[in-house]
Amino acid sequence: MEQLLEMAGKVSDKAEIYSVDVRGDSVSFENAHLKDIDSSIQSGVSLRIMKNGILGFAYTKNLADREGLIQNALDSLKGGVEGSFDLPLTKDLPSLNTYDPLAETLSNSAMVEECSRVCEILSRKTKGQINISASRSTGSIRIINSSGTYLSWKSSAYYLSPHILYPYSSASLHRVLKSKGFAKAADEYLNFLSDTYDQSLKEVNPEGRNLKVLLLPETLYVLIWRLQTATSGLSIYQNISPLAQKSGEKIFDERLSIYSDPLNDSLPHARAFDDEGTPCSFFPIIEKGALKNFYCDLYFSMKLKTPPTGHGFKGSISSKPAPLLTHLCVAPGNKSISEILKSIDRGIIIAGALGAHSGNIPNGDFSIGVAPALYVEKGAIAGHVKDVMVAGNIYDTLKKVAEIEDTVYPSHGGNFPAMLFDNINVTLKK
Amino acid sequence: MFEILRAMISGATADYADIRYEIMRETRILFHGRELFHIGSNTTDGFVIRVLKDGGLSSIAFTRADDAETALHTAEENAALIARHIKKPVEFGKTDIIQDTFLPDIDEDPRQISIDEKLQLTRNYNSIPLKYEKVATTNIYYSEVVREKYFVSTEGAKVREDLITTGLGGLITSKDGTLSQNVRVALGGSNGFAVLRNQEEEFEKRTAIALDLLRAAPVTGGTYNIVLNQDLAGVFTHEAFGHFSEADLIEDSTMRERMQTGAHLGNEALNIIDDPLMPGQLGFYCYDDEGVKARQVSLMKQGVLVGRLHSRRTAAAFGEGLTGHCVAEDYRYAPIVRMGNIFIKPGEKTLEDLLAMLGDGLYILDSKGGQTSGENFTFGAQYGYVIKEGKIRNMIRDINITGNLYHTLKNITAVGNDIVLSKTGGCGKGQLNIRSCHGGPHILINNVVVGGM
């Protein structure tokens, strides 16, 4: 990498090398039987250069042809993409515990054993079909640039994701376990899945529209995704964010606080720097209902003439860094999930969302199919409902939150609690 | 190349091994509004080894040739581990051993077009919506993916096939006050660069829709009879029905009981086919990533399930014939069962006939993404119209529909005569398939749940 930086430095004003190596193994069970074991050993290198205020970019899977990589980056200068920002000189970052050495030696055989154990426990407790996947990954990132930054990051992760499927459906109850190394699934966790499934197994056909809606941590991303889009430097620059002029204003219920916490190394993939080498920090988006910040990478900081916030991340080796709000948390409330359930006279629990990507996301609109949709009556789960849609706009929905759960769980998109609303439109099939 | 690959798996102790090597060249251009955000061409490559050992099947993807020995060893260990735990050993359906090179016949090879010309074309199209005051921004891309694939197996197969995919499109966002709306443009295909030329009218048409949506009313939630246009009929066919014609998705599911061949699942107006061999269509290929020759599969005939899509493993597990539908996104993945070009066969009704049959209801158009979960599906429409007494009335927006596969198949009561197949794809069944192609004619469906704001 150092040699590549030196070579790139000779033909450009500024240069940055990003390299990644990842080793991963995954085990999957279907219908409580081992189905697949797949492995992957992947690497990649990307190069950004700036010359005369123009940005060039190239990538490859290995460094067999350094000259070719540099030539691709030089060729891309011809397009004239603006690139007049400074590459950061980053050092003296907080030390994070992101790597569990035992993850390196965790065998596929051990993951198969754990999945078998979980299948056996869940199969004893419930009649639903059990599908499980477990995965282990270890990886490293290195970033060096012509400003003098030399950063490296090593991480490990273990995920376990059991699903209990409803009959004749792929809709399932699920909750993922995430840790830096192997962790045995606790009884409490498995009981939640099996108990909730059993209570909701019966298909019911409730009537009426005035139903409360409870989003489980697993589906809260549907709402948060819209907020992520609206607070991105890209959306602000493109003038499509409804929040562009609302910094500091109270836009949501005052019980809502939403923040990015990349330094929290209790979970996998904590980061002290982003994929451009900019330091990461605790970063509030919503504080007690008020809009606090927009987030940026180096490019959109340049465009918006604001300081970078440490949110430049790459989707893959082939993409340039772009603003991405990672490590999200929603602050917990003060009611347990059982207290929240008891407060519902009639309602729907959104345990799975279909089509979260298909609404008008920049506008804050959502309109999703719900599968599974659990039905709650008089404070208890009474079954599940088919053909349910819920719809709304987050700038109305999040203005008034009925309850927030007192515990957060690692979920798709962040660490979230369950959240109850009485202002979401529910459509049931007649 | 074949000899290098053969050497990489020559040390296999497994009953069967194959290796796929791909060189992938991607060219991408991206505009955010008037500004060019990205331009460049890059080449990457990688390998996937699969082994079948004692009835266990496993795969490994890797990017460095030096890792080949470790990779083969890991895949064999994993296969042996599976073999020790499974009740029924994996078997492969028998296939002809193919030794062939297939290079597609295309209209203008994009590799021969300069990047300056591609940039100019993209810039010209991008400038069309940006002429309008109420167009807030655009996200318009050019994409070209050239995959040079080599496949070698211990059975003796040696196949090279190139897949060349071009795309030009993106999002047009209109804005009025705090209300923003967006509409997609999607041009492209598998048969060269020529399909991207002379498309100014399409950009004008899509821009007009984005602007009209600013005056449209949100749809009112409820249960409606609806007419879907060709793109949405294709999305329904792909999302709701097609995925459950993929044998790997139903193999270990309770849905398998209902998806038995011979089951009367749909209205007799329905005939559904998947055919990867349709020349010029986005989903075209000759051989799948197991070296099996692709073939047309009739999936539904007059409402009766008559076929499904297979890999070699699932064909053996179901005791059915090979279809050549086991495809990987690229060198990072082992192949899985995928659709090629899936569509509803056209009937005899015109759109006017269908709207007349509809009477009062909704006419909804163009996909905004879809998703399925077993028998449940949801997808969005980019825009639509209220229909009164068979006539098109006011425009509506924010439309998402949900439904149950089996009920909906029965509720498709009429099929149009005007088939259109999609020009860009992006199915995300664990891996992205940019050549996933779907389509059909206009269709009339009764009793559909529409989510409303």
Query: Residue B172: which CATH number?
Result: 3.30.2290.10
Output phi, psi for B214, to 5 deg: -65, -20
Q: Which H or E run contains B172?
A: strand B158-176
Nearest residue on chain B to A128, alpha-carbon basis: B254
Asked if B40 and B124 sit in the same domain, the reply is yes
pTM metric for this prediction? 0.91
Scanning B222-241 for CB atoms below 8 A from A yields: 222-223
Q: What is the pLDDT of residue B135?
A: 96
CA distance A92 to chain B (A): 32
- Nearest by CB to residue B86, choosing from A34, A81, A129, is A34
For strands B222-228 and B443-451, give the pairing.
Answer: antiparallel
- CB-based contact B372 A429, cutoff 8 Å: no
Residues in chain A: 430
Number of domains in chain B: 2
CA distance A305 to A344: 48
- Nearest by CB to residue B403, choosing from A31, A36, A387, is A387
Q: Chain B contacts of A425, Cβ < 8 Å?
A: 221, 451-453
Asked if B328 and B411 sit in the same domain, the reply is yes
Q: What is the pLDDT of residue B292?
A: 98
Asked if B270 and B164 sit in the same domain, the reply is no
Asked if B145 and B200 sit in the same domain, the reply is yes
Least Cα distance to B298 among B337, B255, B261 occurs for: B261
CA distance B41 to chain A (A): 7
Domain borders along chain A are: 2-195, 202-430
Question: Among B192, B215, B238, where does a domain finish?
Answer: B215
* HSE toward the beta carbon, residue B237, CA cutoff 13 A: 36
* B54 interfacial to chain A (CB closer than 8 Å): no
Nearest residue on chain B to A317, alpha-carbon basis: B44
Asked if B278 and B153 sit in the same domain, the reply is no
Q: Hey, what are A13's tokens?
A: 């004003």
Is residue B5 within 8 Å of B19, Cβ to Cβ? yes
Q: What is the pLDDT of residue A424?
A: 87
Interface-testing mutation among B48, B138, B400, with chain A (most A C-beta atoms within 10 A): B400
- What is the per-residue pLDDT across B407-438, written as a single tens digit (0 to 9) for each? 899 999 999 999 999 999 888 788 888 999 99
* B362 interfacial to chain A (CB closer than 8 Å): no
* B253 interfacial to chain A (CB closer than 8 Å): yes
Per-residue pLDDT of chain B (453 residues; tens, 9 = 90+): 999 999 999 999 989 999 999 999 999 999 999 999 999 999 999 999 999 999 999 999 999 999 999 999 999 999 999 999 988 899 999 999 999 999 999 999 999 999 999 999 999 999 999 999 999 999 999 999 999 999 999 999 999 999 999 999 999 999 998 888 999 999 999 999 999 999 999 999 999 999 999 999 999 988 999 999 999 999 999 988 999 999 999 998 888 888 999 999 999 999 999 999 999 999 999 999 999 999 999 999 999 999 999 999 999 999 999 999 999 999 999 999 999 999 999 999 999 999 999 999 999 999 987 777 777 888 889 999 999 999 999 999 989 888 888 889 999 999 999 999 999 988 878 888 899 999 999 999 999 989 766
Three-class DSSP category at A193: helix
Asked if B201 and B239 sit in the same domain, the reply is no
Q: Chain A contacts of B249, Cβ < 8 Å?
A: 170
Q: Chain B contacts of A240, Cβ < 8 Å?
A: 136-137, 173, 175, 180
What architecture does CATH give domain A2-195? 2-Layer Sandwich (3.30)
* B80 interfacial to chain A (CB closer than 8 Å): no
Q: Chain B contacts of A360, Cβ < 8 Å?
A: 180-182, 397-398
- CB-based contact B376 A166, cutoff 8 Å: no
- CB-based contact A367 B179, cutoff 8 Å: no
Nearest residue on chain A to B85, alpha-carbon basis: A34
Asked if B255 and B314 sit in the same domain, the reply is yes
Residue with tokens 């709402």: A223
Nearest residue on chain B to A169, alpha-carbon basis: B374
Scanning B416-445 for CB atoms below 8 A from A yields: none
Q: What is the pLDDT of residue B83?
A: 95
CA distance A359 to chain B (A): 7
- CB-based contact A354 B376, cutoff 8 Å: yes
Rounded to whole angstroms, the maximal C-alpha distance in chain A is 72
Q: Hey, what are A186's tokens?
A: 């606790």
Asked if B222 and B182 sit in the same domain, the reply is no
Q: Chain A contacts of B60, Cβ < 8 Å?
A: 38-41
Asked if B79 and B182 sit in the same domain, the reply is yes
CA distance B366 to chain A (A): 12
- Nearest by CB to residue A238, choosing from B70, B136, B372, is B136
- CB-based contact A240 B63, cutoff 8 Å: no
Residue B113, domain extent: 2-215
CA distance A232 to chain B (A): 14
Asked if B254 and B381 sit in the same domain, the reply is yes
Q: Chain B contacts of A371, Cβ < 8 Å?
A: 373-374, 376, 378
Is residue B25 within 8 Å of B65, Cβ to Cβ? no
Q: Is the ipTM of this complex over 0.85?
A: yes
Question: Among B215, B250, B283, where does a domain finish?
Answer: B215
Asked if B237 and B344 sit in the same domain, the reply is yes
Q: Chain B contacts of A109, Cβ < 8 Å?
A: 81
SS3 content of chain B, % helix, strand, coil (to 5): 25, 45, 30
- CB-based contact A169 B374, cutoff 8 Å: yes
Asked if B104 and B150 sit in the same domain, the reply is yes
* Regions of chain A with pLDDT less than 50: none
Question: Among B200, B215, B230, where does a domain finish?
Answer: B215
Is residue B216 within 8 Å of B394, Cβ to Cβ? yes
- CB-based contact A81 B371, cutoff 8 Å: no
Rounded to whole angstroms, the maximal C-alpha distance in chain B is 71
Q: Chain B contacts of A68, Cβ < 8 Å?
A: 43
Is residue B51 within 8 Å of B57, Cβ to Cβ? yes
Give the Cβ contact number of residue B192 at 10 Å: 19
- CB-based contact A41 B38, cutoff 8 Å: no
